Structure formats: structure tokens, C-alpha cells
Amino acid sequence: PPLNFDYNDGVPPSGDADDNYGATMEDHDNDSSDDDNNSHDNHHNSTLTGVDHHLPHPDRPHLEQTHEGEHRFDHGSIAALKITRATKLYAFCAALNSCNLGYDIGVNTGAGMLLQESLVLTDVQLEVFMGSLNLFAMVGALSSHWISDRLGRRWSFRIAAVVFIFGTVIQSGAGGYASLMFGRAFVGLGVGFGLAVDPVYISEISQAAHRGQLVTWSEIATNIGIVLGFLSGLFFSSVD
């Protein structure tokens, strides 16, 4: 007969905390008797309906490991895989996208005053310029799945880089506030697009045991970019 699996609700019946909680015994011998031999035979003719340990009770949902490799030291009979050089290289290159955001934040902190003097910007215009990067990056991140799912991760990186470079070139040659904000929009879109794709790509190329470690490279790269931006401002601090 087919097994009738119960919900794995994590609550043993009648306080019984054995491994067969929620299971029931079904007797398939209709000619049971009181003697010891028949009782022994009935025990073998009974079927234990089990508990599906991956099917949580709808009233008490809980997360549960579903396959080997779900966490760092769970590989079953397979030995732990090491992070290959190729995986590190690809993760490093992907994390460079996140470095763009940090660098822009750091470098514009020092260049903001010079930019205000050069283009004769008001305080409000400078504030809008500095803060608009996050707004445009949010739009880029929200729209990134359209290209990422259709063209793949690598093409997404190319598009993010082209958009970012295009915006940087426009900002560098801006002669007024309008052209400056136009370039800022492209920079923000490129940054947000790259930030959304980076962790997805890194997680897909990483082994399950090291996925959490490698995905953090994206966030680390953002902070490294901020430091590099401040160092750039310090290095060119004497330039008027």
C-alpha cells in the first residue's frame, strides 16, 4: 500500500520524542490472534507510515535543510571543495562593479567643493547632485533583472560598465548643471545595475560551502572603493 506521509510539524505526539513522531501503524493482517506467534507475524505485517521531513506543517512553517551542501560543512559523502583560483578571479572581477559606487562616493566628497566653485552651483544643486546617485542607482537595480535574465550575467556586466563609463565621460565634460545631472543619471544607473548583478553572479559560480564568503566580496569592494576615493581626493588636494 502507498505510504501516507504526515506533515512534519515538529511536535511529537503524546510527548513521545522519538524519530517516528507523527507516524502511525497500519495493520494489514485481519486474522490476528492472541498467541505469541501471531502477534509476532502481525508486527511484520504492520506498515509504519512515515513523516515527510521536508514538508512543514502549514500552521507551523519552519526552514529545513533540503539537500547536501546547504551549509558550510555539510557535504554528505563528498569531500569539501576548495575555492579555485578561477573562482576567486571571477569573483574579484565581479566585485569591481561594486567598487565603482564606493569610489564615486569617496572622490565626490573631496571634489564637491571644487565642482561647486567651477560651475557656480548653489548649495541645493550640489546636494541634489551628490544625493541623486542613490536614486538613480535604485532605478538601475530595480530594472537590472530585465537584461540579466535575458542576456545573462556577463552581458549585464558589459552593459553596466558601458553605461557607467558613458556617464563619467559626460560628467567630466559637463559645462553646466543640466549636462552634469544628465551624466549623473547614467553613472547611477550603471552603478545600481552592477550592484544588483554582482552578488547573483558570484553566488552562481561559487561552491555552496564558500558561497557566503565570496558574496561578501561585493560589499568589501564597495568599502575599498570609498577608501580609494578618499585617497584620490587626498592625493589631488593641492590641485585647484
pLDDT at residue 79, as a whole number: 55
- Residue-level pLDDT, tens digit, the chain, 240 residues: 444 444 444 444 444 444 444 444 445 455 444 444 544 444 444 444 444 555 555 555 555 545 545 555 555 555 567 788 899 999 999 998 888 888 888 888 888 888 888 888 999 999 999 989 989 999 999 988 888 888 888 888 899 999 999 999 999 888 889 999 999 999 999 999 888 899 999 998 888 778 888 999 998 999 999 999 999 888 887 776
DSSP 153-184: HHHHHHHHHHHHHHHHHHHHT--SHHHHHHHH
SS3 223: helix
CA distance to 139, 143, 177, 183, per residue, from 133 (Å): 10, 15, 15, 10
Q: Are 144 and 196 in contact (CB under 8 A)?
A: yes
b/e per residue 164-183 (b: at least 16 CB within 10 A)? beebbebbeebeebeebbeb
Nearest CA to 97 among 143, 151, 140, 147? 140
What global pTM score does this model have?
0.63
pLDDT at residue 194, as a whole number: 87
C-alpha–C-alpha distance, residues 47 and 53, integer Å: 18
